[in-house]
Amino acid sequence: STIETYDSEAISYAGDATSDAEIDAGDVLTAQLLSKLRTTIREDRTFPVESMTDDKGQPCFAFVTSGRGIEQLKADEEFRQNHTRVIANADNPLTKRAGYYYDGFYIMEYEKTLRVSQNVGRSLILGADALMMAKHKGIEYFTDPADHAKRKVALSVTGSGALKAHKVAASGTDATMRRRNAHAVDHYVRT
């Protein structure tokens, strides 16, 4: 599938890069970048990214990144100190490589994040309604070839999971669609 384009206010770059062509080994994910991104997605966009609500009723966003993105965050001193202070025992996410939370971001490792170009990876910030998964019935192995109606249901359910590109018009008469509730972050990834 093609890489979806993001307009200039819906994409950020790590470090001092201002485009994918400028990204080098120093432009990595850090705790400081996450804090900056939280402000960017809420204050610097025409359509701010709307937060989800976590299990404690607090606003939060999903931050989906690759294993190499997780490596970068774990190498960042501020990020490490945050998790060591909160959970200093064996349940610490840093030792389990799972369940990170920082400054309102639930950080999730996903091995299929996009590689935009050589050594440039893309992480995504997802807000409310950015992820739409339609799974209305259990997906099971189809065993009744005699019933055509049942087979149609099984096939439609199998193909019903999707990531929704949530876009809105920039203004009432503007045909340009702007991405809403998703923000891209391009950063260096080692090969």
Helices (H), the chain: 31-43, 67-75, 77-86, 93-96, 148-158
Per residue in 12-52, pLDDT tens?
999 999 999 999 999 999 999 999 999 999 999 888 999 98
Report field, pTM of the whole predicted structure over 0.75: no
Identify the weakest region by mean pLDDT among 35-44, 52-61, 91-100, 169-178.
169-178
